[in-house]
Amino acid sequence: MIRGTGSYFDGASAARRAVEVELARWGVLVREAEPGGRELAFWEYRDLRRVDEWAGNGPLRIRARNRNARLVVESPAVIAALCARATRLAARETGWSRLSLRWAGLLALCVAVLLVTLRHGLPRFADEVARIVPHRWEAEFGATLVEPVLLTFARLDGADEVAYCTAPGGVESLAEITRRLALPGSPFRFTVRVVDLDMVNAFALPGGQIVIAEGLLRAAGSPDEIAGVLAHEMGHVLHRHSTAAIIEGLGLAFLFGALLGDAGTGFVAGAGEVLVGLSFRREAEAEADERALDLLERAGMSSRGLADFFERMERKTGDRPAVLRLLSTHPSTERRRRLAEERSTPDLPASLDEDSWRRLKTICRRKAPINPS
């Protein structure tokens, strides 16, 4: 194992941290320098980029793709081993040629955007581009959106702050439903969490991030209803509807960010605003419904839960619940129930047993801040 020292800048402040740098099998591990120091970052070799030009001697300044943090490595032995494992760090590419290649690629992409948009319209183009966005980039981008989107929803809910619900039994119950619904071998890795918001809502972010508000959990009458809502949100993720919506909302700004590897605060803020005000097209909602029924059927879960939940909420409030008001073009509850009944299998066991369901309903007895720092 190759180790050395360095300096770490988190990208959020000017503070410098002395760190220990360890070259592991797949990437660079950065820890605080003091004994027992906590892990600050792990960057895979394939994601490493130089911050500036490097003449082949002296300190090497690096970052990870789509990250703002910086690492300065000074040990010649560590630098040599690092360049051997991440070969692009040692490349003698000039700043001008690197910039020229990027702008040439961006120009070609913009021309393609214009041609496709003129021919098919922006929504069709957004759907096509979303399908070719790399899964890894989409997952990293989605993770950066969670906090700003949650804070915005908290303000809409009249709350000053928001926290994840983390009671262990409830987390295990939610993970069990997620595991059963997730497709084996899928490139998507779902991260499903409950937050302490009163709104009756659930939403999916790009790359597999799914959030369920405590208000929706309290309103649900059975684990099958939660499974149905979760399957529907998974359907949006699998069809990459949120990513397409961001592409449609940001247009060329998204392409600039993706091509140049920029996931800065302005880019993230713009994407977050798109998601908070999102209203999926009817076709997207129908696709999510169909995929949800497929996931439920494969998992051996009732397909009536989703329709039951929305119908009961409409009957109770006399209006669409928040999750449907946000999705204003959603297919009618009557159509959804009819479709679910046609696909339902009788006498299926509940998605969770009574004890697991009780633990899930009380998941907010323990909470953790969304941003521990």
CA-angle at 140, arms to 138 and 248, nearest 5°: 35
pLDDT of residue 316 exceeding 80, the answer is no
Condensed to tens digits (0 to 9), the pLDDT of residues 144-174 reads 888 888 888 888 778 878 999 999 999 999 9
184 in any annotated domain: yes
CB atoms within 10 A of CB 155: 13
85 in any annotated domain: yes
Pairwise CA distance, residues 170 & 173, whole Å = 5
267 in any annotated domain: yes
256 in any annotated domain: yes
124 in any annotated domain: yes
75 & 154 share domain: no
152 & 49 share domain: no
80 & 160 share domain: no
82 & 139 share domain: no
CATH label of the domain that carries residue 75: 2.30.29.30
Residue after which a domain boundary falls, among 51, 71, 89: 89
Pairwise CA distance, residues 27 & 20, whole Å = 14
Which range (162-171, 202-211, 261-270, 345-354) has the least confidence? 261-270
Global pTM value: 0.62
Mean pLDDT of the chain: 77
333 & 208 share domain: yes
70 & 181 share domain: no
Residue after which a domain boundary falls, among 36, 68, 89: 89
54 & 182 share domain: no
Contact yes or no for 23/55 (Cβ under 8 A): no
83-99 average pLDDT score:
62
Contact yes or no for 237/188 (Cβ under 8 A): yes
106 in any annotated domain: no
Q: How confident is the model at residue 290 (pLDDT cuts 50, 70, 90)?
A: confident
Contact yes or no for 245/280 (Cβ under 8 A): yes
In the chain, how many domains are there? 2
Pairwise CA distance, residues 28 & 5, whole Å = 12
182 & 269 share domain: yes
66 & 215 share domain: no
65 & 195 share domain: no
Range of the domain at 203: 118-369
Condensed to tens digits (0 to 9), the pLDDT of residues 92-130 reads 544 444 444 455 555 555 555 555 554 455 556 667 777
Condensed to tens digits (0 to 9), the pLDDT of residues 174-231 reads 999 999 999 887 888 899 999 999 988 888 888 899 999 999 999 899 999 999 999 9
| Comparison of pLDDT for 184 and 18, the residue scoring more | 18
pLDDT of 346 reads 67
101 in any annotated domain: no
171 in any annotated domain: yes
216 & 364 share domain: yes
326 & 266 share domain: yes
